[in-house]
């Protein structure tokens, strides 16, 4: 099927075959997950009969079946946005002819949006590399396979060739990429470890926020495995391993179980959640927020198979300096609180176990 569209050059064709794992999903949800685009965009394409299954147009509520051959023509950006390369330093952890792994600092935006038009990782990549492949044919996303939030620090993989971009994107889609984060959360999660399996989707009230849905027909499935690494009385250092990678996943999931990420203004972590409201405690928390004025979340481990050789690759990124100092501050506060002499010990992150 070829769409009857005067702007056919702006449509990108996607061909895919349904596996047993994905059978009986609504096709709009299947394509939204598979192509990492909005469900609304998929439904619009279906309404225009730009999506076919086994050569026939279908409706959005069609349930995909094993071996279904799907062709989806999805509109790309109608205008080619241009970026001006910027000489922004990059902390490159690994690089070869096919990819690079970058350690992104907190407060750096991945690519331009309505409020950040300069200073992004995309601008920095364009300054260093001239021919990066474009994610979803979007000029604002050169080589970008995945994203992490602006105020989250840590590791990202960037593709240098179209082959690598396609292969790495498929690894993320199949949930075979290893991702482990460290986060400081309010309180101490029950039992010290667990799994959160709740769908995540956009909030109907607040466009910039995500929410957890118990209904499997709403949002996208999101699974987070967590383990307490270091209890610190009113807070805890927690390792989170992602089975899926949804927008704001850890932040939404930890808020949902009553342990919002420390300092997270969007999901309730920037106020006192645990502890008495004594003046001295309020002052201590204020100083903690001043030390780290955004969510305490760090993408520490990233592992995947090399897109060309197939060799397993794994990378680790040390906690940022202010994150380390934040943990040290809580250690000293708790030591003093227990009527012991506060020790000027340094938090040793090299002793942190890696959550498997």
Helices (H), the chain: 27-35, 39-47, 121-128, 162-173, 249-256, 279-291, 321-337
pLDDT recorded at residue 204: 77
Is the per-residue pLDDT at 45 higher than 50? yes
The pairing of strands 153-159 and 297-305 is parallel
Structure tokens at 206: 């607040």
Structure tokens at 91: 């902390």
pLDDT digits (tens, 9 = 90+) for 139-182: 888 999 999 999 999 999 999 999 999 999 999 989 999 999 99
Q: How far apart, in whole angstroms, are the C-alpha atoms of residue 230 and residue 223?
A: 22
Residue 343's pLDDT band (cuts 50, 70, 90): very low
pLDDT digits (tens, 9 = 90+) for 275-327: 988 899 999 999 999 999 999 999 999 999 999 999 999 999 999 999 999 99
Is the per-residue pLDDT at 44 higher than 90? no
Average model confidence (pLDDT) across the chain: 87
More confident site: 191 or 260? 260
Q: How far apart, in whole angstroms, are the C-alpha atoms of residue 288 and residue 263?
A: 9
The predicted model gives 4-10 an average pLDDT of: 41
Is the per-residue pLDDT at 8 higher than 60? no
pLDDT recorded at residue 337: 73
pTM of the model: 0.76
Query: How much of the chain, in percent, has pLDDT values that exceed 70?
Result: 88
More confident site: 104 or 73? 104
pLDDT recorded at residue 169: 92
Quote the DSSP letter at residue 192. G
Judged by DSSP in three states, 251 sits in helix
Judged by DSSP in three states, 82 sits in coil
Longest dimension (CA), the chain: 77
pLDDT recorded at residue 234: 95
Burial of 118 (C-beta count, 10 Å sphere; 0-12/13-18/19+):
exposed
Q: How far apart, in whole angstroms, are the C-alpha atoms of residue 30 and residue 294?
A: 34
Is the per-residue pLDDT at 78 higher than 50? no
| Positive or negative torsion for Cα 62, 64, 68, 71 | positive
Q: How far apart, in whole angstroms, are the C-alpha atoms of residue 29 and residue 46?
A: 12
Q: Is 113 a catalytic residue?
A: no
Is the per-residue pLDDT at 18 higher than 60? yes
Q: Which residues, listed in sequence order, are joined to residue 240 by a DSSP beta bridge?
A: 181, 226
| Cβ pair 141, 95 in contact under 8 A | no
pLDDT recorded at residue 130: 87
**Least-confidence region, from 27-31, 130-134, 188-192, 336-340:** 336-340
Structure tokens at 221: 């499935």
Q: Which of 113, 105, 118 is nearest to 138 (CA)?
A: 113
pLDDT recorded at residue 81: 52
Among residues 33, 91, 136, 149, the one annotated as catalytic is 149
pLDDT digits (tens, 9 = 90+) for 218-243: 888 999 999 999 999 899 999 999 99
The predicted model gives 120-134 an average pLDDT of: 93
Helix axes 39-47, 27-35, angle to 10 degrees: 120
């Amino acid at each position: 099927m070829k769409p009857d569209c005067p702007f056919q050059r702006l449509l990108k064709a996607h061909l895919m075959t349904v596996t047993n794992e994905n059978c009986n999903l609504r096709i709009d949800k299947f394509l939204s997950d598979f192509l990492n685009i909005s469900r609304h965009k998929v439904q619009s394409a279906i309404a225009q009969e730009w999506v076919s299954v086994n050569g026939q147009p279908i409706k959005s509520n069609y349930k995909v079946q094993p071996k279904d051959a799907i062709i989806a023509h999805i509109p790309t950006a109608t205008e080619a946005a241009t970026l001006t390369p910027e000489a922004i330093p990059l902390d490159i952890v690994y690089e070869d002819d096919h990819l690079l792994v970058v350690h992104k600092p907190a407060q750096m935006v991945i690519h331009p949006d309505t409020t950040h038009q300069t200073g992004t990782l995309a601008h920095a990549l364009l300054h260093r590399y001239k021919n990066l492949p474009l994610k979803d044919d979007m000029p604002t996303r050169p080589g970008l396979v995945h994203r992490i939030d602006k105020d989250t620090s840590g590791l990202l993989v960037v593709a240098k060739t179209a082959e690598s971009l396609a292969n790495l994107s498929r690894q993320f889609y199949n949930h075979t990429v290893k991702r482990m984060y460290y986060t400081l959360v309010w309180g101490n999660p029950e039992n010290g470890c667990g799994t959160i399996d709740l769908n995540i989707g956009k909030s109907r009230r607040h466009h910039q926020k995500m929410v957890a849905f118990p209904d499997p027909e709403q949002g996208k499935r999101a699974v987070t495995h967590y383990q307490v690494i270091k209890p610190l009385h009113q807070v805890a250092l927690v390792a989170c391993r992602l089975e899926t990678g949804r927008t704001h996943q850890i932040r939404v999931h930890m808020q949902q179980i009553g342990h919002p990420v420390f300092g997270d203004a969007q999901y309730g972590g920037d106020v006192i959640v645990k502890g008495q409201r004594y003046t001295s405690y309020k002052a201590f928390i204020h100083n903690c927020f001043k030390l780290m004025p955004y969510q305490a979340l760090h993408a520490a481990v990233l592992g995947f198979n090399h897109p060309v050789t197939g060799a397993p690759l794994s990378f680790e990124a040390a906690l940022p300096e202010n994150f380390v100092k934040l943990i040290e501050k809580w250690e000293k506060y708790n030591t003093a609180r227990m009527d012991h002499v506060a020790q000027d010990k340094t938090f040793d992150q090299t002793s942190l176990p890696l959550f498997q």
